[in-house]
């Protein structure tokens, strides 16, 4: 027995190490800059010099350096981070790589982000949770366009602490003059971006100069090494002094006797007995307990994941925000913001997207583009649309009020992502600049006679029949026949025809993609008002984009929107060409013509699919009438 005990390892040093780690702070930072500036090499060097590489990893690194390396006979430290095979073969970073390392003074999570322009969205992802940015610049090339772009995005995403790492200083003979030139150029480039701290450090990531310790090869540099600087900088002070904020991620009900509200405190501190207010309702209560997996706490601060129980039973759900009563959170449905657009599919005002703010997800539209920002000069440029990597100032309107703050006051409630409705892909990242005053003061005025009363008087239920299809497919023909048949049956109807509406309501719109989006938005709003009047309205528009048709559907109550896909092959539409438009489009006389040089996105789940090559318009119109009867919209 005693021999067995004597052979057991002494766990005390490990326990002391773990206890010490719990007491030191955590810094999240990212490396960014132009391609080949040495971001991955720097992180690899940090991991190597802090002795966080196992022997087998080092052996693999040495072997991979021979096969994939770009450092000659030396170890290529970038291979520790560039894990994708494509990255190793090309010597670039494509994805965001996260690495953890620790010293006696601090723990670190570092995001290695790509430098290529086409991967700017990955860089924005890495910056979204960082507190500090290390911007690398190749000492030979100086400040480049991508350096400016990344610095601008870093600023927009609320990072206020920046280190300018002038890398490859060994390739310019450790020149003090070159370092000073780049430092001054960068300071001018980021002037006005609002950084709280900006430190410039000359380094050689390959050879370790000024990375872990001061280098004797830069005697003219009197500052700290990069690691020393990262260990010492204070980035937490601002969050601690801000008023209490916590977005509810989950209502915790493990049993009938417990109801808690789980989330991560984004700002301020909370104690049992403190009052909190629900932002949306304005209702208040007192914190009874602060519950964690390790037991109840007497106090919790920013960054703590906790479950709060309250003294009163009040209505709180996922997406609600708990706040200090003396510093309420705004609840609004309109705001102005800066956005970084991340996808090849252009952004157009009026198009519907999904917006995620904090823990709340809600539909909305980008109402206008105030201007695009030239990241090289900071100039404000007029724009009707945004392309990939564009940065712009925009206006947003949500379908429901949401708790929010200006990004400058809190990134957790002031930042948002934009999600494509069809693909569910993140297409943009935004920062709230201003909340529109009184945006929640405009409310829907209830009328004494509602649409059900109006429709009952007409012996019908209101609905919008949305006819979509290519030009020449037969939409207007079938819609007219349906209208005629309904009129003969004594029903009250109206037709919104795409061509007719352009003579009046939409006469100011052209045929660019942005104008097409606005064309459909206005038509949907007009149709909604007619449905509110109790009518059955036929909407006959090409409406080529699924997202626009889905946004139109959202404006109606359940069962009121019926998508009718008038499906005619484009060759048949060309043969018919009742207005001669295809001939003119093929001759280049009409630009952005659907089916020729502009896309048409066919419905994937239309309520009615009418194939005009299989039946004549009369038969197809009867099918629409039958569908209305089946849905009990008409008798």
Candidates 233, 237, 283, 288; CA nearest to 259 is 288
Cα angle for residues 590, 478, 350 (degrees, 5° grid): 50
Q: Are 375 and 152 in contact (CB under 8 A)?
A: yes
Q: Are 546 and 558 in contact (CB under 8 A)?
A: no
User: Where in 34-180 does DSSP place strands (E)?
Assistant: 97-102, 106-112, 132-138, 161-167
Residue 286 corresponds to which tokens in the numbers above? Answer: 């007192």
| Dist CA 181 CA 600 (whole Å) | 53
| Dist CA 432 CA 356 (whole Å) | 12
Candidates 220, 156, 228, 146; CA nearest to 186 is 146
Q: Are 153 and 373 in contact (CB under 8 A)?
A: no
Q: DSSP character for 243?
A: P
| Dist CA 317 CA 306 (whole Å) | 16
Q: Are 250 and 263 in contact (CB under 8 A)?
A: yes
Q: Is 514 exposed, middle or buried (0-12, 13-18, 19+ CB in 10 A)?
A: buried
Specify the long-range contacts of residues 580-585, CB closer than 8 Å, at least 24 apart: 581/471, 581/472, 582/471, 582/472
In sequence order, what DSSP letters do the residues of 467-511 get, joined into one string?
A: EE--TTSSHHHHHHHHHHHHHHTT--EEEEEHHHHTTTTTTT--S
Candidates 355, 368, 359; CA nearest to 421 is 355
Our measurement of the distance from residue 31's CA atom to the centroid of its chain's CA atoms, rounded to an integer in Å, reads 21
Q: 543 an active-site residue?
A: yes
CA 550 to each of CA 42, 275, 309, 498: distance values in angstroms, whole numbers, following the listed order: 47, 42, 40, 18
| Dist CA 453 CA 439 (whole Å) | 30
| Dist CA 546 CA 599 (whole Å) | 11
User: Three-state SS string across 409-448, please?
Assistant: CCHHHHEEEEECCCCCCEEEEEEEEEECCCCCCCCCCCCC
Which of 34, 476, 543, 547 does the annotation list as catalytic? 543
- Residues with a catalytic annotation lie at 543
């Amino acid at each position: 027995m005693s021999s067995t005990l004597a052979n057991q390892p002494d766990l005390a040093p490990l326990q002391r190490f773990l206890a010490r780690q719990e007491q030191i702070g955590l810094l999240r930072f990212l490396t960014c800059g132009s391609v080949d500036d040495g971001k991955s090499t720097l992180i690899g060097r940090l991991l190597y010099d802090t002795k966080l590489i196992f022997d087998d990893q080092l052996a693999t690194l040495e072997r991979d350096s021979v096969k994939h390396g770009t450092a000659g006979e030396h170890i290529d430290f970038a291979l520790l981070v560039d894990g994708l095979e494509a990255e190793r073969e090309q010597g670039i970073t494509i994805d965001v790589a996260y690495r953890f390392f620790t010293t006696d003074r601090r723990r670190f999570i570092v995001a290695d982000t790509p430098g290529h322009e086409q991967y700017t969205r990955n860089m924005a992802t890495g910056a979204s949770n960082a507190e500090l940015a290390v911007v690398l610049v190749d000492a030979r090339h100086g400040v480049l366009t991508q350096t400016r772009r990344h610095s601008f995005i870093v600023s927009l995403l609320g990072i206020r602490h920046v280190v300018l790492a002038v890398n490859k200083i060994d390739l310019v003979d450790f020149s003090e003059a070159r370092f000073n030139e780049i430092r001054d150029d960068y300071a001018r480039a980021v002037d006005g971006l609002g950084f709280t701290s900006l430190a410039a450090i000359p380094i050689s990531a390959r050879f370790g100069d000024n990375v872990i310790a001061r280098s004797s090869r830069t005697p003219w540099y009197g500052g700290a090494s990069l690691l020393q600087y990262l260990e010492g900088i204070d980035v937490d002070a601002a969050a601690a002094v801000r008023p209490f904020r916590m977005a509810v991620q989950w209502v915790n009900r493990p049993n009938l006797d417990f109801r808690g509200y789980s989330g991560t405190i984004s700002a301020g501190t909370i104690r049992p007995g403190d009052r909190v207010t629900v932002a949306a309702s304005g209702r208040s209560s007192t914190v009874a307990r602060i519950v964690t997996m390790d037991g109840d706490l007497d106090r919790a601060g920013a960054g703590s994941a906790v479950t709060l129980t309250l003294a009163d039973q009040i209505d709180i759900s996922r997406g609600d925000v708990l706040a200090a009563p003396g510093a309420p959170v705004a609840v609004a449905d309109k705001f102005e913001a800066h956005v970084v657009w991340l996808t090849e599919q252009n952004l157009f005002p009026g198009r519907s997207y999904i917006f995620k703010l904090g823990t709340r997800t809600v539909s909305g539209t980008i109402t206008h583009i105030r201007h695009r920002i030239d990241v090289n000069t900071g100039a404000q440029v007029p724009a009707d649309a945004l392309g990939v990597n564009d940065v712009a100032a925009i206006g947003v309107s949500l379908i429901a009020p949401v708790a929010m703050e200006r990004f400058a006051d809190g990134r957790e409630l002031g930042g948002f992502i934009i999600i494509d409705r069809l693909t569910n892909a993140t297409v943009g990242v935004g920062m709230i600049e201003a909340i529109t005053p009184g945006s929640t003061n405009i409310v829907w005025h209830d009328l004494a006679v509602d649409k059900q009363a109006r429709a009952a008087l007409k012996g019908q239920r209101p609905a919008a029949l949305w006819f979509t299809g290519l030009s020449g497919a037969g939409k207007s023909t079938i819609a007219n026949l349906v209208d005629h048949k309904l009129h003969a049956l004594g029903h009250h109807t109206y037709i919104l025809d795409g061509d007719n509406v352009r003579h009046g309501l939409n006469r100011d719109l052209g045929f660019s993609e942005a104008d097409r989006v606005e064309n459909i938005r206005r038509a949907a709003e007009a149709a909604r008002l007619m449905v509110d009047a109790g009518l059955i309205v036929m909407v006959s528009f090409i409406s080529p984009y699924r997202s626009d048709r889905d946004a139109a559907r959202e404006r109606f109550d359940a069962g009121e929107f019926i998508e009718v896909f008038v499906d005619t092959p484009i060759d048949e539409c060309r043969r018919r060409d009742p207005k001669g438009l295809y001939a003119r489009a093929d001759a280049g006389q009409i630009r952005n013509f659907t089916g020729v040089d502009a896309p048409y996105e066919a419905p994937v789940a239309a309520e009615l699919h009418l194939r005009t090559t299989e039946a004549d318009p009369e038969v197809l119109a009867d099918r629409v009438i039958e569908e209305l009867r089946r849905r009990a919209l008409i008798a």
